[in-house]
Structure 1
């Protein structure tokens, strides 16, 4: 009977996996805010039409969310396929050359600090449980976790797409206020910076970094995106016969 390796389900492990799962949400929201802020700032300054801002903003939201979700899905699917192929390759090698794989695993354990006798004893015990032996071989030889091949493929893509869409709404929402295009552009920046700081702050609480420092760092990137987009929207339109809109006016 094949015995699959059992990973202890500890509170620390669950906490680490939860923090790792936040990556999709944090990355998606940051990308949604920054991408949409850049697009609608450039369009708002260049065109001065609220309808153009809404159209470009929601198209950015839709295209970005779909792109992030599909990209995450395909990326993880490819990773699972590579890991599964690697496991199959190692399984065939263990069947074709068991002594060679035995010696190889002994060498790995000796590299970890075990004596030759200890390493051989451990590997002999492993050979009595083929699936555990396979797990150890794949992990030590290729540095990958075989469990990746069994992961579900929808949670992360949906989290990425949903968080991108949610982040995109922040800079767009400012243009629904009864303000001029220029004033709405500044409010859009304020909304975006607030969202970026909040996302960065939360990301900082999951690591050993200062939450405030992480929040300000992410918000600083938002300022950079706004400046570049504003300059592009201000200087590029005259090349095509359009007059840019003054922010704040």
Structure 2
């Protein structure tokens, strides 16, 4: 494999934000191991690059957005459910509704702020790492050369080719991008990442927490226990579907093994939500008994 094909490969990923790190590493790995002829390597590289672009363009939902939505929904389906179930022990529907709505709003704001600050910290960390990398390239080129060689070491390339690649990259303006992708293995966050993360987590939390609260809007002021039964039934279904969908989104939707994993994931979500709700109900009931006992002692 000649250096011209490597140059073509390097030029295909020069902007850090074009590809994710695993795609870059896979592309480089395949090209280095399979390409022996210059023209065929360049052609295959070009097709891979175009394929990567097409894959990105056809991508419907960003993986990070899905992850943020799962975080928000997961917390929203357990914490507010546990709170409303615990407040139901008081038997007052208004208390459950007002307390649940207050927790939903406060929790969504808190979760959204947490996601925003986390994304901002990620951006700051990326900028600091990039600045440090550029500074190292200027002040310690020998260390950078050694780092480049270490990046190619797992691919078992000939020493002559590694040396040629190292010399080429050392003088390339794309060296910071190469080091960020292959050495530091960090991806450049988008400019709107913080706001998207905050809104996705907050909205997921609110939607997930509103599901168990919904039955309380359709019962009388003192029918909290009746609404609790409907809330539990609704949440059992919702938790199972959420756990099933979350698991199958990662492992796949088809096949007996993936279906079994989805069922196990759904049952685990039901178990987690049940333990949280049971614990909250027990604590509220215990506090209520203590308050009643304290009131009787005063009389």
TM-score computed with the length of structure 1 as normaliser: 0.86
Identify if the C-alpha distance between structure 1 residues 14 and 31 changes in structure 2 by more than 3 Å, giving closer, same or farther: farther
> Structure 1 stretch 18-27 or stretch 8-17: which is displaced more?
8-17
Task: Give the number of equivalent residue pairs.
Answer: 239
The one of 27, 36, 50 equivalent to 2:71 is: 27
CA offsets, 1:57-106, max 9 Å, x none? 00110011001111001001101101110110110110112233123212
Following superposition, the deviation at residue 17 of structure 1 comes to 6.3
The one of 163, 178, 181 equivalent to 2:219 is: 178
Whether the 8 Å contact between 1:30 and 1:164 is mirrored in structure 2 is yes
Segments of structure 2 that go 5 or more residues without pairing to the other structure are: 1-10, 20-51, 252-257, 295-299
> Structure 1 stretch 56-65 or stretch 120-129: which is displaced more?
120-129
Moved over 6 A (4+): none
Instruction: Give, in whole Å, the separation in 2 of the partners of 1:19 and 1:60.
Output: 28
Segments of structure 1 that go 5 or more residues without pairing to the other structure are: 244-249
Secondary structure, aligned partner of 2:62: helix
Identify if the C-alpha distance between structure 1 residues 12 and 85 changes in structure 2 by more than 3 Å, giving closer, same or farther: closer
> Structure 1 stretch 10-19 or stretch 191-200: which is displaced more?
10-19
The one of 186, 189, 205 equivalent to 1:144 is: 186
Instruction: Give, in whole Å, the separation in 2 of the partners of 1:143 and 1:13.
Output: 23
**Structure (1 or 2) with the larger CA radius of gyration:** 2
CA offsets, 1:160-200, max 9 Å, x none? 10111111111111111225221111211112222211211
CA offsets, 1:25-67, max 9 Å, x none? 122112112111111111220x221111111100110011001
> Structure 1 stretch 204-213 or stretch 11-20: which is displaced more?
11-20
Whether the 8 Å contact between 1:81 and 1:149 is mirrored in structure 2 is no
CA offsets, 1:1-36, max 9 Å, x none? x95354332428965963443122122112112111
The CA RMSD measured in Å over matched residues stands at 2.5
Q: Which residue of 2 aligns with 1:43?
A: 87
Q: Which residue of 1 aligns with 2:272?
A: 221
Whether the 8 Å contact between 2:73 and 2:204 is mirrored in structure 1 is yes
Whether the 8 Å contact between 1:189 and 1:226 is mirrored in structure 2 is no
Greater relative CO, 1 or 2 (CA 8 Å, sep 6+): 1
TM-score computed with the length of structure 2 as normaliser: 0.72
Q: Which residue of 1 aligns with 2:42?
A: none
Whether the 8 Å contact between 1:83 and 1:149 is mirrored in structure 2 is no
Whether the 8 Å contact between 2:65 and 2:200 is mirrored in structure 1 is no
Whether the 8 Å contact between 2:115 and 2:197 is mirrored in structure 1 is yes
Whether the 8 Å contact between 1:69 and 1:160 is mirrored in structure 2 is yes
CA offsets, 1:193-244, max 9 Å, x none? 222112112212212243222222212211111211221122221112279x
> Structure 1 stretch 12-21 or stretch 135-144: which is displaced more?
12-21
Whether the 8 Å contact between 1:28 and 1:160 is mirrored in structure 2 is yes
The one of 130, 133, 149 equivalent to 1:106 is: 149
